[in-house]
């Protein structure tokens, strides 16, 4: 059985749990509490030398880290990853966007706020994180203004990756009120058969 090493509040871990659930693939969930240093232990670092969750442990003991790499691996040969070469590249484009422009800003502020970490060292970084987080939401809003989903008008891992932290962006004090297309897309994703909330493990 697949094993998912994860931290329940993590959007990155949620991506993996959501896709596995949509695929109907059974897995064992193993909590690694990042607030207690559980991803810095020798046994975890053998799975992922970078000391981050999620990690997907395969039946043969192989381990795969980085949430979006895990999504691509799991989605191969399924409806969640297009067969068309260009559409596959577009999915990858959005996965890279999510990790480079979206997650470092929206997810980081959410983590700092929900874990009460806005200390004197982090406070000067908030304005920049907020500005670039809204810039990412602006890109998404423009793209979704004429589309139901991010690639090929079909629900894919591009949507799963971007949904994970967008749907909880308000926990990072991002106001989604002016993002009508994004909010409608969030509703569509949440209405997909087999959808689970972030708190479900």
pLDDT of 201 over the 90 cut: no
pTM for this model (two decimals) = 0.97
**CATH class of the domain comprising 2-75:** alpha beta
Is the CB of residue 25 less than 8 Å from the CB of residue 48? Answer: no
pLDDT of 83 over the 90 cut: yes
Q: What mean pLDDT do residues 132-139 have?
A: 98
Average model confidence (pLDDT) across the chain: 97
With a pLDDT cut of 70, the percent of the chain lying above it is 100
Q: What mean pLDDT do residues 152-162 have?
A: 97
pLDDT of 6 over the 90 cut: yes
Q: Please state which CATH number belongs to domain 85-190.
A: 1.20.1050.10
Q: Are strands 2-6 and 55-57 parallel, antiparallel or unpaired?
A: antiparallel
With a pLDDT cut of 90, the percent of the chain lying above it is 99
- E-strand ranges in the chain read 2-6, 27-31, 55-57, 63-65
Give the side-chain half-sphere CA count within 13 A for 133.
Answer: 25
Domain boundaries, the chain: 2-75, 85-190
pLDDT of 147 over the 90 cut: yes
Is the CB of residue 123 less than 8 Å from the CB of residue 162? Answer: no
- Under the banding of pLDDT at 50, 70 and 90, the label for residue 36 is very high
Q: Cis peptide before 54, with omega less than 30 degrees from 0?
A: yes
Q: Which residue has the higher pLDDT, 201 or 90?
A: 90
Q: What mean pLDDT do residues 77-105 have?
A: 98
Q: What mean pLDDT do residues 19-45 have?
A: 96
Instruction: Give dist(CA 77, CA 79) in Å, integer.
Output: 7
Q: What mean pLDDT do residues 82-89 have?
A: 98
pLDDT value of residue 69: 98
Q: What mean pLDDT do residues 50-55 have?
A: 97
Instruction: Give dist(CA 52, CA 65) in Å, integer.
Output: 8
Same fold, 2-75 and 85-190: no
């Amino acid at each position: 059985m697949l094993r998912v090493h994860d931290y329940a509040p993590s959007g990155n871990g949620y991506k993996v749990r959501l896709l596995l659930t949509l695929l109907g693939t059974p897995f064992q969930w193993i909590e690694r509490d990042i607030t207690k240093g559980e991803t810095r232990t020798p046994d975890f670092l053998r799975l992922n030398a970078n000391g981050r969750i999620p990690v997907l442990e395969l039946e043969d003991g192989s381990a795969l880290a980085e949430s979006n790499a895990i999504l691509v691996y799991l989605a191969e040969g399924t409806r969640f990853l297009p067969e068309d070469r260009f559409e596959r590249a577009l999915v990858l484009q959005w996965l890279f966007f999510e990790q480079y422009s979206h997650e470092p800003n929206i997810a980081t502020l959410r983590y700092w706020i929900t874990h009460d970490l806005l200390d004197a060292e982090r406070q000067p970084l908030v304005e920049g994180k907020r500005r670039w987080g809204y810039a990412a939401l602006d890109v998404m809003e423009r793209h979704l203004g004429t589309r139901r989903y991010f690639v090929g008008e079909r629900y894919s891992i591009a949507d799963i990756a971007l949904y994970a932290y967008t749907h909880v962006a308000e926990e990072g004090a991002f106001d989604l009120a002016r993002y009508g297309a994004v909010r409608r897309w969030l509703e569509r994703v949440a209405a997909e058969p087999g959808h689970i909330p972030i708190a479900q493990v």
